[in-house]
Amino acid sequence: MRNNGGAAPVAIGIDLGGTQVRAGLVRDGTVLARAARPTDTAGGPQGVLAQIDTLITEIEAGADVTPVGIGICAPGPLDSLTGVVIDIPTLPGWQNFPVRDAIGDRYGLPAVLENDGIAAAFGEWRFGAGREVQNLIYVTVSTGIGGGVIADGRLLRGRRGMAGHVGHLRLAPDGPRCPCGGAGCFEACASGSALGRRARDAAVLSGGFLAEAAKRERVEARHVVAGARAGDPTCRALLGEEADYLAQGFVSLVHLFSPELIVLGGGVSQAFDLIGDQIVAGVREGVMPAFRDVRIVAAALGDNCGLIGAAALATQFGEALPPTKGSS
């Protein structure tokens, strides 16, 4: 394959999420073209693969570049060494699906599969908020909670590439049920889905902004953020509770990994200007004194961090992983 006229190589990044599937053409941390669709959860792997076909056609239309590979990121657990999704609690029908080979063979390109939190951590470390940092934790708070860790200047993958499932720290043994089957996980307490659930309960009980929103559509976390910006006291209280949950989870992560920096991504990070100070205060109160200098910031790459990280891994580290059957 040609190297795009001597410029840095271009790769396709695919970010498969429980809410959206996104695809982008990425060169050296810059998204050249991007497209997205709501995830066809009911269609299972074949429905999503058809969506990916459409998205790649869109991003390649008119693009005078030749991708050198495809990086795919998805929730887990997944095995990044074999390219197989083990299970995705938020996406039924994906158990033991060989998504890396399915996509790589489809396009005749080398492909890599990575956990979405790990890919996003890599993207933020190389091109975003974590540049020049040697110890970083990325936490994405959206439909669920995922994450990735940079430790001593290296991406932490763990056995089968399954490290970084930060959403399944247990915060409250008697807490709400988690999609993983456990109870009281960080994800069950602090994800965007959990915030949306509390907001729907509040809409019934308290009226105000959320009750009005519920007359038009299903109330979700984004309504809490909008209501808080509008000054609604119930929404502000819900965001305060969310900040406390996030701080509680971050305290455990700080003690486990001793990062210089925590980067908050995902949909809830859009409210960082409203909750960031409370999260920082909660972490500083909860950690041992030696850890209090950890910084906490919002992701710099927004919802492109998974795309950028996955594409960068395909470009720079694909040779370290087993090739797809159809690649050469």
What local confidence, expressed as pLDDT, does residue 18 receive?
Answer: 80
Number of domains making up the chain: 2
Task: Find the CATH number of the domain harbouring 260.
Answer: 3.30.420.40
Classify residue 201: in a domain, yes or no.
yes
Confidence grade of residue 5 (pLDDT, cut at 50, 70, 90): low
327: nearest Cα among 103, 108, 112 = 108
Q: Which residues contact 226 (CB under 8 A, 6 or more apart)?
A: 209, 213, 235
Classify residue 124: in a domain, yes or no.
no
Shared domain for 226 and 161, answered yes or no, is: yes
96: nearest Cα among 77, 110, 109, 73 = 77
d(CA 208, CA 232): 7
Classify residue 326: in a domain, yes or no.
no
224, with CB counted inside 10 A (0-12, 13-18, 19+), is: buried
Q: Whole-number mean pLDDT of the chain?
A: 91
Shared domain for 141 and 290, answered yes or no, is: yes
- 318 pLDDT above the threshold of 50: no
Q: Calculate mean pLDDT across residues 135-158.
A: 93
Q: How big is the CA angle at 147 (ends 78 and 20), to the nearest 5 degrees? A: 70
Specify the pTM.
0.89
d(CA 114, CA 148): 11
More confident: 4 or 14 = 14
The range of the structural domain enclosing residue 165 comes to 129-300
More confident: 93 or 278 = 278
Q: Calculate mean pLDDT across residues 106-125.
A: 94
d(CA 263, CA 279): 12
What local confidence, expressed as pLDDT, does residue 321 receive?
Answer: 39
